[in-house]
Amino acid sequence: MKILRALVLPLLLGVSAVVSAQDARERGFIRMGMTEGEVLVRVGKPDHEAWTVGRVRGRDGAVIIQGRDGDKTWTYFPHEQDPDTLTVITFRAGAVVDVERKISR
């Protein structure tokens, strides 16, 4: 049993490293219209997540804040398999509306 554990742990660590590397390379293939779920499956959870607040003007011209009805932005920091590249994905209504890849050194 101990031998099995000793063999399985390195195997799992190796597989997780390969999956992580694959996810980082996939960042360049995110396209407009993909859903949040598709992006999560393809590249994993973002390193940073932010929302813009939805705003509407009332009859009197006052701004009414509606909460998280605006855009959602996911940021992926550079990774050893995608070095020097910051990837920012913007979602509106659950679908990708913008993908920005910036060189960051």
Average pLDDT over residues 5-16: 50
Distance CA 48, CA 50 (A): 7
Instruction: Find how far residue 77's CA is from the centre of its chain.
Output: 10
pLDDT in tens, 46-97: 999 998 876 666 667 666 555 556 789 999 999 888 888 999 999 998 999 9
Instruction: Find how far residue 35's CA is from the centre of its chain.
Output: 11
pTM above 0.75, yes or no: no
What is the CATH code for 2-103? Answer: 3.30.1450.10
The full set of domain ranges for the chain reads: 2-103
